[in-house]
Each structure stands twice: as structure tokens, then as C-alpha cells.
Structure 1
Amino acid sequence: MAGSETNARDPDALIRRAGVRGNPDFDQHFLVDDRVLDRLPGYLPADADTSHVLEVGAGTGALTDRLLAVADRVTAIERDPELAAFLREEFADAIDEGQLTIVEGDALDVDLPAFTASVSNLPYGISSEIAFRLLPTGRPLVLMFQQEFGERMAADAGEDEYGRLSVTAGHYADIEVAETVPREAFDPQPRVESAVVQTTPRDPDYSVPDDEFFMSFLKAVFTQRRKTMRNAVRNTAHISGLGEPDAVVKAADEDLMSRRAGTVTPAEFAQLATLAYDVGDPGGY
């Protein structure tokens, strides 16, 4: 790792130099708490490859500055043209030295670089879409979400927060809430508390015949999470694409089909999805 945090830029001063005010309507909530900013890069695993760190939603560059202190190279994505121009000016030296690349555009549309890790204060309105663009890359991530979203990502079967998000995120990585962040850490303040989420990539301890079908199957049954799995599978064939849902119910374990989705573990979902793939006539997969 290169550099240190001792001369980190002041986040409030960056906002003043940029001459901007965060706009909640555009998901602009600048992280201004120095202590949180300083901690974020440290949530990457100790053995993480920081040769090329990706930041999504760079804003005025307070986190960018901290990442430059620990990474060999940083790519920062910012969709606001005014902020992207400010970043290019503020960090001109790092850009000239080849340590920083500013990508102006929407993180859902731009081509992502071959990054080795990501540390980002995500725009909350598209945080789910961005997370599921990053998770399949198999890189360690440190991402800021709304607290409720982060807790749902990290939840285990049987917990109130457990749901489709928990299973799909956990398909790609171990998920942990590293810390909660109060609204006062941002300018302007969001309406809700936030959470820093660590994701450590790993292969799941189960196998599925087709990732796309597995995700569609999860989406289907969780739309009826208050129903038994038996009824959820039957009632959501139009979502999962199953041509023969009754064949799945007949072949599946009776005890499992009597439970509700919120109590079914990822491995049990994988087993059921494999059965559904084999006997349920999943069209298009």
C-alpha cells in the first residue's frame, strides 16, 4: 500500500472549493465525518489487493483522497459533470502521475475497469443495482448503504430482515455490517441512518444449475414470502418461468414445502431450485 492518511483533505473544505451543495433529489449526500472517512479503506481485508481501487460516486473527493493514500491506482466514477470537472482540477497531480482516473458517467452504464477492490459511498437510489453489478466480479467491497438495506443484505435465515436480498448477496460473498453511520455524518443529512457493509467474495457452499434461473426462482418465491413454499412455487410460475410447478411441489421434500421462504436457508433454496430446474420445465433456461 502507498501513502498515509496524515495529510487527508478536509471534506468541508472540498465542498467549499467545489462551490456546490449536495442535492438530496439527486442522491447527493456528501460524507463529511473525517473519522468515518479515515476508517473506510481499513474495512478491506488485510490481504486485499489494492493495486486498483474503484470508487462509485466520488462526489467532491473526500473518500477519493483517502483511497489515493492506500491504493496504487484509483478509478473514481462520478455522474455529475460539475463535480467530475472539480475532481479533475482538485486531483490534477494524481491524474498526471497516473494514480487517478476520473470517469464521468452513470455507474450503471459505464464500462467498469478491471478493479481489484471497491470502496464507495453509493448513491442510495441505485445502490441495489450497483451492488449487484459489483458483487459478481468476485472482488472485496466496502459499500455504504441505507442501514435497513445493509442489514437485509447481511441477514441469516429466520431473522426478520432475511429475504431475497440476503440470499442473492450471500450467493457471491460473505456479508457483514461493519458499522452504522449516523445521519449527521453527511451533508446534507439523509432521512435515514446508514451502514458500512463489507463483502468478502467466496464460492457458495452449494451449487445451482443456472445462476439466472436461481435468481428468478428466488425472486418468485419471495414475492409470496408469507405463503408456504408449496403455494409460493405454485403461484409464481409466471415469474420463475416454471412450466410444471406442480411437478416440483410433488417431488420436493414435504417438510420444506410446508415452511415459509423466510426460514429457508440458501443451501435449501439451491437444492429446491435444482429440483425445479430438473422437473419443473423451466422455459428459456
Structure 2
Amino acid sequence: MSLVSADPDVEPTDPPGAALLGPAQVRELADRLGIRPTKHWGQNFVIDKGTVRRIVRAAGVGPEDVVLEVGPGLGSLTLALLPQVRHVTALEIDPALATQLPRTVTDLAPDLADRLTVRHTDALRVTELPDPPPTALVANLPYNVAVPVVLHLLATVPTLRTVLVMVQLEVAERLAARPGSKAYGVPSVKAAWYADVTGAGRIGRQVFWPAPNVDSGLVRMVRREPPASVATREQVFAVVDAAFAQRRKTLRAALAGWAGSAAQAEAHLLAAGVDPRARGEVLTVADFTRIADAAAGQDAGAEG
């Protein structure tokens, strides 16, 4: 059954070459496939055409971009992306959705079907991707795995230059938080290692089916070089994890387990130019990097 005839309300603003999915089509597709959105995979399907257009605009992608989309679901965002970019590689963990997505694109955007690659896989297990290499991550991410997915892909796909993701509003605020704010924490620091991170707007609940219990937020990231460091990323992130595991404690106390003792933690902090009485929530990613560098330098000196 073709979906083309099932879309009598294609809007004049739909991208050329693609008819976007509206609420009726999303439910029709789900019914045909026997799919009911599951909490296990964090499925909330976008049913609003205006929202997917807004995401594509906020992403700032163009004809030379290769987009990596995680959790494309029934294809709402995919169909909005395809006319604007060179290629879309979609990672879908649900086998029924992964099988259906190429068929949906063939029905609604036949001239663009060759721009789509679908992989049935868990994004958290991806270590390499087929050519062409992705330049942008654009996705409506499942709430329960949003932060791990973003950090994993930034770490494993070095060609990603930009990120635009829709996530739970609280997660969006944490990712984009600045030092000293209540929302600032481990996700904020680790995202800042890879990119400049900013909030890109709020999304209401009624654009989804089923409607979640919370609002969503858009987060934009622009890749940049991480802070110069003799320590590895893993060593820096170990300091971050330790500092926020007991965020009410001073860094001298919070980092005692990581350093081996409170006295050793204080030595590393002073060598890094960080007040041992401070708390992790006021430090920048560069501050955490200097602490890790101080420890790495002292360890190297001890070995020598």
C-alpha cells in the first residue's frame, strides 16, 4: 500500500521532493506495522510537520552535509532532512522500523531514496559507519539514552562537525549548562570537551505521539578542538566523574579517592591552580584538564 495517496494534506511548505508525515499518517503506519511506542526504546514519534522543519533549520545543514540520524522511527525527521542534504545514514534499533523506513521514503520521496542508508543497530554499539562519513548528527533522541549516545558518537565519529538533537528539556539544560549553574554537571563538562554547546529552543509535548510527560529542548553543538592536554580524555573524564560523584564536597575531599588521598588531591589541585576548597560545579573543562595534567605529570615523575 502506497503512502502517497494517504497524504491529501501535503502543505505547500513541504520540502520539494518529499511529503512529510502528519498525525494521521504516523498512526496509520504504526497500525499497519503493529507498532505501539515503547518506553523500553524511548519511542515518542514526532507528528508535527512544523517541528521537523524547525529542527532542520536549527541544524543548519546543507547540500554538502552527510547527516547521521539516530532513532528515525517512522521517518518524520528523515523525510524533512533528505531534500536538504547529500545523504542520511539512519541508525534504528527497532527491526520493524528499520525495515519500514526505506519503504516509506520510496513511497513519499522516490527521487531521494538513494540518499538514505538505514542500519539496524544500537547507536551505542556503533564503532564505524559506512561511507560517506557523517558531518552532522541530527536526531530526536530517546530520552533514556540521549547523553550516552551523543557522547559516544562524538568520541567515535570524528568527522561530525555539528550536532542538533532534541532531548528531554532537563537533559538539554544540563548539556548546555555553564559553570556555576544548578544544572551544570558531568554531561555539561563532557560535552564541552568536544564542542561549544548552546540551547536552541524549547519544544512542547503535543508534537509527539504519545505525548511525553515533559517538554523537550533542542541542543546545538559545534565541534572544536579539546583543551590541550598531556592527559588522555579518559583521564580527564575520571576527574570529572569523581568531582561530581560527591558534588557537595570540596574538591579536596571529592577527589581523595581518585587521587589516593585528600593530601594528594590537594597537591594536584594546587599544581593546577585550582582552589582545593572549590567544588566541581564551578570548574570549566579546561580546569578539569589541568587537574588531570597535574596528576599525569606527577605520576610520570614518580615513574621516572
Q: TM-score range by the shorter chain?
A: 0.7 to 0.9
The one-letter code of the counterpart of 2:28 is R
Distance 2:286 2:274 in 1: 15
Report what 2:15 is aligned to.
5
Counting aligned pairs with the same residue, the percent is: 33
Residues 249 and 43 (structure 1), Cα distance of their counterparts in 2 relative to 1, 3 Å cut? same
Q: Structure 1 residues 195 and 58 mapped into 2: Cα distance closer, same or farther (>3 Å)?
A: same
Residue 32 of structure 1: aligned partner: 47
1:176 to partner: Cα distance:
0.9
- Match of 1:21? 36
RMSD of aligned C-alpha atoms? Answer: 2.6
Q: 1:49 to 1:220 in 2, by over 3 A?
A: farther
Give the structure 2 partner of residue 142 of structure 1.
164
1:51-200 alignment runs, 5 A limit: 51-92=65-106, 94=110, 98-110=114-126, 111-113=128-130, 114-136=133-155, 137=158, 138-200=160-222
Q: Tell whether the 8 Å contact from 2:268 to 2:291 is kept in structure 1 after alignment.
A: no
**Structure 1: unaligned runs, 5 residues or longer:** none
Shift of 1:197: 0.6
Task: Judge which range, 179-188 or 49-58, deviates more.
Answer: 49-58
1:218 CA displacement: 0.8
Question: Counterparts of 2:63 and 2:223 in 1: how far apart (Å)?
Answer: 13
* Cα separation, partners in 2 of 1:214 and 1:53, compared to 1, 3 Å: same
Determine if contact 1:248/1:279 at 8 Å carries over to the other structure: no
Q: Deviations over 1:182-203 (max 9, x none)?
A: 1111100112111111010011
Q: How far did residue 135 of structure 1 move?
A: 2.0
Contact in 1 for aligned 2:92/2:98 (Cα 8 Å): yes
Change in 2 beyond 3 A, CA 1:229/1:50: same
| CA positional deviation for 1:175 | 0.6
Shift of 1:255: 6.2
Please give the TM-score of this superposition, normalised by the length of structure 2: 0.82
Alpha-carbon distance in 2 for matches of 1:255, 1:100: 49
The 3-state SS of whatever aligns with 2:114 is coil
The one-letter amino acid paired with 2:100 is F
CA distance in 1, matches of 2:66, 2:193: 24
For the residues of structure 2 that align with 1:280 and 1:90, how far apart are their CA atoms?
57
Distance in structure 2 (CA, Å) of the matches to 1:169 and 1:15:
35
Q: Distance in 1 between matches of 2:37 and 2:282?
A: 41
Residue 279 of structure 1: how far off its partner (Å): 2.0
Distance 1:67 1:29 in 2: 19
Task: After TM superposition, give the deviation of residue 14 of structure 1 in Å.
Answer: 3.3
Unmatched 5+ residue regions in structure 2?
A: 1-12
Structure 1 partner of 2:297: 278
**Given the superposition, is the C-alpha separation of residues 95 and 245 from structure 1 closer, same or farther in structure 2, using an over 3 Å criterion?**
farther
